[in-house]
Every structure is written in C-alpha cells, then in structure tokens.
C-alpha cells in the first residue's frame, strides 16, 4: 500500500469525487426528466390513437 502525504492526496481525491458525483446527479436529473417527458408524450399519443 502506498502512503498518503499527510492525507492531502486523500482529501483532494474525496473532494474531486464528491464534485463529480454532484455534477453527475444534476445531469442525471435532467436526463431522467427528459425521459419521463418523452415517455408521457408517447403514452398520451398512443392513447389518442387507440380512441
């Protein structure tokens, strides 16, 4: 195992990971919202076609 320099490398890594995680979550929220919107749109369109 490699030793950390006073834990500074670990802190940087944790900070970087948390930043990436928050960025990923915000993007994921947008993507999920878009998917739900498209899904609802398709479902409503199919329902109208069946009537």
pLDDT in tens, 12-41: 888 888 888 888 888 999 999 999 999 999
Contact by Cβ (8 Å): 26, 32: no
Output the CA–CA distances (angstroms, integers) from residue 30 to 5, 10, 34, 37, 51, in the order listed.
38, 30, 6, 11, 32
Residue 6 confidence (pLDDT) above 70: no
Average pLDDT, the chain: 83
Residue 1 confidence (pLDDT) above 50: no
pLDDT of residue 24: 87
């Amino acid at each position: 195992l490699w030793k950390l320099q006073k834990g500074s490398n670990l802190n940087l890594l944790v900070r970087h990971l948390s930043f990436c995680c928050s960025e990923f979550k915000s993007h994921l929220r947008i993507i999920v919202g878009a998917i739900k919107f498209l899904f609802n749109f398709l479902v409503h369109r199919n329902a109208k076609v069946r009537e």
